[in-house]
Structure 1
Amino acid sequence: MNDLPPDPLAAADALNAQARAWRTEPAENTQLTALALAVAANQPVLLWGEPGIGKSAGMEQLAAGLGVPLETVIASVHEPSDFAGLPIIGDDPATTGVPMAPPDWAVRLTAAGRGLIFFDELSSAPPAVQAALLRVVLERRVGSLTLPGPVRVVAAANPPSSAADGWHLSPPLANRFVHLHWTHDPRTVARGMAGTWPAVPIPVVDPARVPGAIARARGAISGFLTARPGLVHHLPADAEARGGAWPSPRTWEMALRLIATAYATGAGGEALAAVVVGAVGDGAGLELLTYLEELDLPDPNRVLADPDAFALPDRGDRQLAFLTAVVSAVQSELTRARWEAGWAVLAKAVDAGSPDVAARAAMDLAAMRDLDWPVPSGIDGFLDLLQLSGALK
């Protein structure tokens, strides 16, 4: 006589479902905050960490918090054609060309219009596959499809020492990611085994902060690279370092967007530090963070509202950073009153004996002038320069 229930695995499946159930609670977690910040800034992210420490679980939480679909692609088991697309020959290739059929995950994300694509085991993918992924990360194209702008790209990699058949990332691919080191906290794991994991914070951009945030970020990056021009581009000498974060014009633009997003969302300093270092590398990133801490730029919109109530910084690179931020703020919301207030700010540089520092900002500000606006008095110290450049007519 058979005493087995109709479905012998039903009770086991119910047990497994209960064991997988968990809840979240607010908790300080720098790496989760940094990941969410980089995703909010729409910068491709690469999570570096040993196998089995929760990278995939973090992605599932993030997708759930954002309310977007998650597509996971194991890069190491795919061929280059899986990302470049497979050719499909039509009736008349000479007339219509040969379209490249995209994979199913790209079709689903395009249909959804938003989502997260998670390329796992990136460092285990051979160089040919990494090269094919370049187009996905850089141009957001998969075969003949272009991924929608709201689709975010995240990848994960194990260090070559612990990855199966691990490869160093090629420098062109590595330089397109914000590199975040993913670690585990034993106390967090122990709490998770009890059924509670930290919640992934979702950064929310405050629209009112956006113009000032972008202006401050532009001023900071411009001033820093003026003071440290040798850090604009520095390709490391060894292969392992070239497969990580290092400074280039591309990664400085990434850092600018990350800083602006942090300012606009009010993200904490530790998360900002993680993404800045993850974009431009340890050396350049730590220097920039020190510079940002010492710079302490005021909100340029407040300065434009009352130009007489601020004091110009003493150092030339900080003056340049501040003036660049002011001009960027004027450009973001161009009115005659704000344009004239910008000249009042630049005039302080002339009064302080530093017209050369403000020269570039003056040329940018002059180029914004509506021809119906009269020439303000604050422009007097730059007349010769602007007439020579043709910016003032």
Structure 2
Amino acid sequence: MGAQSVTQQAVAVAVAANLPVILWGAPGTGKTSSVVALGESLDMPVEVVVGSIREPSDFSGLPVLRDGGTWFAPPRWAERLARSGTGMLFLDELTTAPPAVQAAMLRVVLERTVGDLVLPPEIRIVAAANPPEQAADGWDLSAPLANRLIHLDWEVSAADIAEGMAAGFTVPELARGEAPTEAAVSGSRATVGAFLRVRPELVLAVPDSPDRAGRGWPSPRSWDLAARALAACAHSGAEEAVLAELVLGAVGEAAGFELLSWLRNLDLPDPVQLLNDPHAPLPDRVDRLHALLGSLVAHVAAEGGAPVWEQAWSVVGRVARTAPDVAASAARALARQRPGGAKLPTTMLELAPVLRAAGLLT
């Protein structure tokens, strides 16, 4: 599979899962046309906003008097997206936007807010940029804006271009998928959290140079993007190369490769197997226990039934015998998932020290 094909699939997964993504590539390589074609194939209106011709007020809103107060009026493109309820905001030529404009874009990318208008949650954010040395009057991407996006390198494959010119350019089927459930995202967050317990120094690593700060780097926000990408790839059945593109694009190569290597060697038992088999073996490593109980709590949240919730406490009890700290963390999360009508299982009596440590028992 060519490099562009992997990137196209990564963009498709990001669009389906509503993850903000930016494509980096040389001018004339089809970034804009590919994104517009993707939107058209999904029946999504696409609003193309070019950074070099915009002012900060195009994102923060123009102040006008309204009903005796000040209203920050949004531009027409934002009103059109709000009316449609769905669509794609394509921020093109991002590195030609001066720093003041980039600063005004922050709320748009993170909060979907333009002036006093809140865009519908179904609006996708896709951006494109030329490397600063290839952009006309280019600036490095500011670190706060860069950290809100998943960065993908858009490379031209001669074979893909030749095939597309002969038979037409196709849109990856992954774009037509649905976003993962909130329970699946919670499970992925628990998995990434288990990794960060092992490598706490990777939670935040702000680059020390502007060019590196303008791409993906580790922070709590970008780790959350990586977790959502992990859930999206698992939900869509995307191959490992696509997952790698999204994870590395979110947190950078060094931290991303460590996470991917850790995931490859995780080998956790299925939560359903643990619930049904009281003698199923448990991992002996603390990080794997954290990941396992995180996936168990996510499974309980997805099922939502009292019997599953009550069964899960038996697994927490087994973990408590060898790793009470791990069990205490899971107990807090599991207690928050208690469904209506669920009874407190007798197993919880054996967990009194663990529950006390978790702040669930006085």
Q: Same fold (TM over 0.5)?
A: yes
Summarize the Cα distance change of 1:61–1:202 in structure 2 as closer, same or farther, 3 Å threshold: farther
Asked if the contact 1:63/1:116 (under 8 Å) is kept, the reply is yes
Q: Which amino acid aligns with 1:356?
A: D
Q: Structure 1: 5+ residue runs without aligned partners?
A: 1-26
Summarize the Cα distance change of 1:310–1:219 in structure 2 as closer, same or farther, 3 Å threshold: farther
Summarize the Cα distance change of 1:139–1:375 in structure 2 as closer, same or farther, 3 Å threshold: closer
Q: Does 1:378 align with 2:347?
A: yes
> What is the alpha-carbon distance in structure 2 between the residues aligned to residue 206 and residue 124 of structure 1?
33
Asked if the contact 1:362/1:382 (under 8 Å) is kept, the reply is no
Partner of 2:329: 360
Q: Does 1:327 align with 2:303?
A: no
Q: Which amino acid aligns with 2:324?
A: P
Asked if the contact 1:29/1:198 (under 8 Å) is kept, the reply is no
The CA deviation at 1:38 is 1.2
Partner of 1:237: 208
Q: Does 1:86 align with 2:56?
A: no
> What is the alpha-carbon distance in structure 1 between the residues aligned to residue 170 and residue 314 of structure 2?
49
> What is the alpha-carbon distance in structure 2 between the residues aligned to residue 367 and residue 216 of structure 1?
15
The CA deviation at 1:98 is 1.9
**Out of 65, 81, 87, which is 1:109 matched to?**
81
Output aligned runs, 1:35-114, within 5 Å.
Answer: 35-90=11-66, 96-114=68-86
Identity %, equivalent residues: 45
SS of match in other structure, 2:11: helix
What RMSD over aligned residues (CA atoms) do the two structures have, in Å? 2.3
Asked if the contact 1:47/1:156 (under 8 Å) is kept, the reply is yes
> What is the alpha-carbon distance in structure 1 between the residues aligned to residue 361 and residue 342 of structure 2?
12
Partner of 1:259: 230
Summarize the Cα distance change of 1:243–1:176 in structure 2 as closer, same or farther, 3 Å threshold: same
The CA deviation at 1:84 is 1.6
Asked if the contact 2:48/2:91 (under 8 Å) is kept, the reply is yes
Q: Which amino acid aligns with 2:307?
A: A
The CA deviation at 1:198 is 3.5
Partner of 1:273: 244
> What is the alpha-carbon distance in structure 2 between the residues aligned to residue 197 and residue 388 of structure 1?
58
C-alpha offsets along residues 278-333 of structure 1, whole Å, 9 cap, x if unaligned? Answer: 111111111111111111334434543x1436321121101111012112322333
> What is the alpha-carbon distance in structure 2 between the residues aligned to residue 145 and residue 356 of structure 1?
45
Output aligned runs, 1:117-266, within 5 Å.
Answer: 117-203=89-175, 205=177, 210=181, 213-266=184-237
Q: Which amino acid aligns with 2:93?
A: E
Partner of 1:283: 254
Output aligned runs, 1:3-14, within 5 Å.
Answer: none
Summarize the Cα distance change of 1:251–1:37 in structure 2 as closer, same or farther, 3 Å threshold: same
> What is the alpha-carbon distance in structure 1 between the residues aligned to residue 53 and residue 153 of structure 2?
23
SS of match in other structure, 2:283: coil
Aligned residues: 360
C-alpha offsets along residues 197-237 of structure 1, whole Å, 9 cap, x if unaligned? Answer: 23332345579x84763354133111101111111111011
> What is the alpha-carbon distance in structure 1 between the residues aligned to residue 49 and residue 334 of structure 2?
47
Q: Which has the larger radius of gyration?
A: 1
> What is the alpha-carbon distance in structure 1 between the residues aligned to residue 27 and residue 127 of structure 2?
14
Q: Structure 2: 5+ residue runs without aligned partners?
A: none
Asked if the contact 2:304/2:339 (under 8 Å) is kept, the reply is no
> What is the alpha-carbon distance in structure 2 between the residues aligned to residue 300 and residue 203 of structure 1?
29
Summarize the Cα distance change of 1:301–1:203 in structure 2 as closer, same or farther, 3 Å threshold: farther
TM-score, scaled relative to structure 1: 0.85
Asked if the contact 2:147/2:217 (under 8 Å) is kept, the reply is yes
Asked if the contact 1:119/1:154 (under 8 Å) is kept, the reply is yes
TM-score, scaled relative to structure 2: 0.92
> What is the alpha-carbon distance in structure 1 between the residues aligned to residue 178 and residue 27 of structure 2?
36
Q: Which amino acid aligns with 1:85?
A: G
